[in-house]
Structure 1
Amino acid sequence: MTITDTQAAVSTDDPFSTEILEDPLPFQQRLREAGEVVRLEKYDVHAMGRYETVRSALVNWQEFQSAAGVGLSNFTREKPWRPPSLLLEADPPHHNAPREVLAKVLSPRSIRALEPMWADDAERLVDDLLGGPLEFDAVPELAEAFPLRVFPDAVGLPGSDRDHLLPYGDHLFNTFGPENSLVQRGAQRAPELSAWVNAQCSRESLAATGFGADIWAATDRGDITTAQAPLIVRSLLSAGVDTTVHAIGAVLHAFATHPAQWEALRSDPRLARRAFDEAIRLESPVQTFFRTTTRDVELDGTVIPEGHKILMFLGSANRDPRRWDNPDEFDLSRDPSGHVGFGMGIHQCVGQHVARLEAATLITALARRVRTIELSDRPRRHLNNTLRAWESMPVRVTLA
């Protein structure tokens, strides 16, 4: 890092390089130490890594807009590869009605009815898995298997081709970064996967009950238009699977490497939801999002021009020692509320209650049957421009 005469630090690091995507923590520490705002020379964007700065930008949609895209691409200058999300890539007033409808559909009260059914599904999945060898890969067998088992049903998705959801979401989150090899690799299947996802969003394709049907019912009430409804359903399918899969992977890895915390959970299963949020804070499955300035904005003596991209490092903010004691530790005695792993403000993840329920039911079912869980081999990362994920996580368990 170097300091210019405007007092803004300049970094020559590439946060989308393989090295940093594999292990972002040293870079994030440099970013936080350099200042409140740092210019990334390679992309000519400004970056934020400190908790208070990131949190303030997340809630300040008036100056840091999402409507120009939450990736490196600027929608005011470039055409997006798909119609922008009405939730993630829109600001008031266009954001308001879709957000209000989906917030009601996915409210804690609305999803409470799913809890008994999902708990039964989690018990069956765990029982089937533990009926076989007690060494297995926790990513496909648990982290991917459970969300793909319960979430599409809750949306009302037909039963076939659900394996399309993960590569579609993976490519979508890759496109928020630069057009590197990760984007180029996913682009080969993007038209096919995008067409499949779009086809699932019509009223006729969805079951008569479920989140999708509830969204379409809002068109009958006049809360949203028939043009908006399929885009809102698409938001569920775009961001409702990958992020939960990687969040469950994060909490499983945390427990596999912190046996005392696993024992604490087994002693008090009520800690399951706290464990999920602490893992979100620690690992931050969604590592970054961009915003775009709506006017000249001054931060820490640096003027960021209107129309300039800002890269917010959520993962860095969630490990900022200015906000968290022992931030690199997974600690169930900590209150992790306030983390920015789900965003903050009007664009905070509207599906976070669903993700918590999925994770908590799976973790609780696992804790009832498993006395110990540990890594049996070195886990392997799945690289993505936006997401922090595991490709493989070999574990060994002993039964309770």
Structure 2
Amino acid sequence: MTTRTPSLATAIPTTDEDPFGREVLADPLPFQHRLREAGEVVLLERYGVYAMGRYETVRAALLDWQGFESSAGVGITDFRSETPWRPPSLLLEADPPHHDAPRSVLEKILGPRELRELAPGWEADAEVLVDEVLARGTELDAVEAFAEAFPLRVFPDAVGIPDEGREHLLPYGDHLFNSFGPENFLVQHGAPHIGEHSAWVNAQCARDRLSPGGFGSAIWAAADRGDLSVDQAPLIVRSLLSAGVDTTVHAIGAVLHAFATHPDAWAQLRADPSLARVAFDEAIRLEAPVQTFFRTTTRDIELGGVRIPARRKILMFLGSANADPRRWVDPERFDLSRDPSGHVGFGMGIHQCVGQHVARLEATSLITALARRVESIELLGEPERHLNNTLRAWKRMPIRVTFT
């Protein structure tokens, strides 16, 4: 990275590196280190957007929704001047007051009481899945067997969508998160098929496709009460299906990889299963399944001596913030004695992930079930990354387990 001086008053660190290039997506840590060391704000010349990778800067921007808006899109596309390929999310891509009602409704539907009711069933489902997988042998792909299988088993049931067609969920979400970045090789790969996936997902959001008692029917009931408009209801159901599957799949993958590479931590968890919640958040901090999100400045803003003009895109590196040694001691270590609660892996402020408690329940149910049966987890070979413009994910993770 280089520093160039466009005026006597301001020195703006710049880089021509591509954070959406294949090499950086496969291993973002070296780039993120250079980004943090270059300054609080760095200009990405290739895209003409500003980037921030230090913890305090990213956290402050996430909290300042008035200065860094989401309404212009959380991807590189500026909704003020470009038309998005799908209707904007009423949660991720809206600010108050338009953001308030959808957020309030979902916070109630995904609240503590609802999750307490779900927990016994999900814990039982996790036990069944673990038994089924272990019955097939001790060598397996952790991504396919656990990280993908469990969320696709329990979350769509909770929303209330049918079994048939669920294979559309992962490729739909994958393309959605790719589309937050530039139109690169990943977007081009998914574009020919997104119409089919999108049509199926949109169809599941209709009132008559959702089974009674699920999250989806509760959203429609909120519309009937007047808490939402009828037009908003299917878009909020779509938000659940868009953001509630892929992110949890990759979060569980992050936890499993952390334990496979830290056997002492697995022994700790088996001795004290209450550490499952800490393990989940520490894996989110360490791996940050959601690596980046964009915001747009609403006014001229100065950070670290750099003046960012109004109406400019800002790329916040959540993964980099979670690895910032200015905030975390030995940040590349998976440490169950650490308090990871300040991480920004789920965002921060009014746009913090409303479904994070659901993801946490899914992950801890599965981890706890595994800890009861599995004595050890070890990698059989080098895991393979699944590349995505926004997400950090595993495509394949061969492991061997020993179990009681």
Q: Tell me the TM-score range normalised by the shorter chain.
A: over 0.9
Q: Name the residue aligned to 1:348.
A: 352
Q: Deviations over 1:4-23 (max 9, x none)?
A: 22221001110000000000
Q: Does 1:3 align with 2:7?
A: no
Q: Determine the C-alpha separation between the residues in 2 that align with 1:83 and 1:111.
A: 29
Stretches (4+) displaced over 4 A: none
| Corresponding residue to 1:170 among 174, 179, 184 | 174
Q: Does 1:145 align with 2:149?
A: yes
Q: Determine the C-alpha separation between the residues in 1 that align with 2:311 and 2:4.
A: 21
Match for 1:41: what amino acid? E
User: Following superposition of structure 1 onto structure 2, how do residues 358-369 of structure 1 map, counting pairs within 5 Å?
Assistant: 358-369=362-373
**TM-score w.r.t. structure 2 length?**
0.98
Q: Name the residue aligned to 1:386.
A: 390
User: Following superposition of structure 1 onto structure 2, how do residues 37-116 of structure 1 map, counting pairs within 5 Å?
Assistant: 37-116=41-120
Q: Which moved more, 1:216-225 or 1:383-392?
A: 216-225
Percent identity reads 72
Q: CA deviation at 1:377?
A: 1.1
Q: Deviations over 1:175-207 (max 9, x none)?
A: 000000100110011111111111000110100
SS, match of residue 207 in structure 2: coil
Match for 1:320: what amino acid? D
Match for 2:39: what amino acid? G
Q: Name the residue aligned to 1:270.
A: 274
SS, match of residue 189 in structure 1: helix
Q: Name the residue aligned to 1:221.
A: 225
Q: CA deviation at 1:241?
A: 0.2
Q: Determine the C-alpha separation between the residues in 1 that align with 2:228 and 2:52.
A: 35
Q: CA deviation at 1:109?
A: 2.0
SS, match of residue 378 in structure 2: strand
| Corresponding residue to 1:136 among 134, 140, 145 | 140
Q: Determine the C-alpha separation between the residues in 1 that align with 2:287 and 2:402.
A: 25
Q: Name the residue aligned to 1:325.
A: 329
User: Following superposition of structure 1 onto structure 2, how do residues 112-261 of structure 1 map, counting pairs within 5 Å?
Assistant: 112-261=116-265
Q: Determine the C-alpha separation between the residues in 2 that align with 1:309 and 1:369.
A: 48
Q: Determine the C-alpha separation between the residues in 2 that align with 1:225 and 1:20.
A: 42
Q: CA deviation at 1:361?
A: 0.4
Q: Determine the C-alpha separation between the residues in 1 that align with 2:78 and 2:397.
A: 36
| Corresponding residue to 1:308 among 304, 312, 329 | 312
Q: Determine the C-alpha separation between the residues in 1 that align with 2:47 and 2:112.
A: 40
Q: Name the residue aligned to 1:337.
A: 341
Q: Determine the C-alpha separation between the residues in 1 that align with 2:381 and 2:310.
A: 49
**TM-score w.r.t. structure 1 length?**
0.99
Q: Does 1:281 align with 2:304?
A: no
Runs of 5+ in structure 2 lacking a partner?
none
Q: Determine the C-alpha separation between the residues in 2 that align with 1:22 and 1:375.
A: 19
Q: Name the residue aligned to 1:17.
A: 21
Q: CA deviation at 1:216?
A: 0.6
SS, match of residue 382 in structure 1: strand
Q: Determine the C-alpha separation between the residues in 1 that align with 2:16 and 2:29.
A: 16
SS, match of residue 50 in structure 2: strand
Q: Deviations over 1:88-132 (max 9, x none)?
A: 000000000000001110112221101100011000000011112
Q: Determine the C-alpha separation between the residues in 1 that align with 2:18 and 2:250.
A: 23
Q: Determine the C-alpha separation between the residues in 2 that align with 1:107 and 1:224.
A: 18
SS, match of residue 296 in structure 2: strand
Runs of 5+ in structure 1 lacking a partner?
none
Q: Determine the C-alpha separation between the residues in 2 that align with 1:8 and 1:32.
A: 13
SS, match of residue 91 in structure 2: coil
SS, match of residue 140 in structure 2: strand
SS, match of residue 395 in structure 1: strand
Q: Determine the C-alpha separation between the residues in 2 that align with 1:108 and 1:174.
A: 32
Q: Deviations over 1:190-227 (max 9, x none)?
A: 11111111100011010011100111110111100000
Q: CA deviation at 1:40?
A: 0.4
Q: Determine the C-alpha separation between the residues in 2 that align with 1:379 and 1:321.
A: 26
Q: Deviations over 1:233-269 (max 9, x none)?
A: 0000000000000000000000000000000000000
Q: Determine the C-alpha separation between the residues in 2 that align with 1:317 and 1:212.
A: 34
Q: CA deviation at 1:301?
A: 1.2
